[in-house]
Amino acid sequence: MEELTLTTPALLFSAISLIMLAYTNRFLAYAAIIRNLTDKYLERKEAVLMRQINNLKLRLNLTRWMQILGISSLLLCVLTMFLIYVDLHNAAVWVFGIALLLLILSLAFLIREIQISTLALEHHLMDIENQIND
């Protein structure tokens, strides 16, 4: 195996930064939707709205974990660079490996969140189809 250099973990900085920006945008969108749904639910307590709120709570929780794992990955990349700088190469390899695993987990949570989001949209489409057919 080749030795890690300072540039190896640094390569992930831009990728992780873009991923974190996307995660933050998702989080802000969910916050706006939840506020809107909460107002609607307070006006009329429909079961459909409660299901949507529960779905959004799950998606928000996944997004929070995506952010935590992504930020942790970035922190470990910085720690890897420090360990390389102080000539602790074996430790740097292990820390960088953990950083990669955290990034993989973050992306896996993103896949799950996308599946849930898609399912929620499919339910909306079915509701529209049912109203058209009635």
What whole-number distance in Å separates Cα of residue 93 and Cα of residue 4? 7
Is 1 a domain residue? no
The pTM score is 0.83
Sign of CA dihedral 48, 53, 57, 63: positive
Helix (H/G/I), strand (E/B), else coil: 50: helix
Is 2 a domain residue? no
User: What is the span of the domain harbouring residue 110?
Assistant: 7-133
Is 38 a domain residue? yes
Count up the domains in the chain and report the number: 1
Q: Which residue has the tokens 């339910």?
A: 123
Is 74 a domain residue? yes
What whole-number distance in Å separates Cα of residue 101 and Cα of residue 23? 18
Q: What is the pLDDT of residues 5-40, one digit of tens each?
A: 888 888 888 899 899 999 999 989 988 988 888 888
Residue ranges in the chain whose pLDDT is less than 50: none
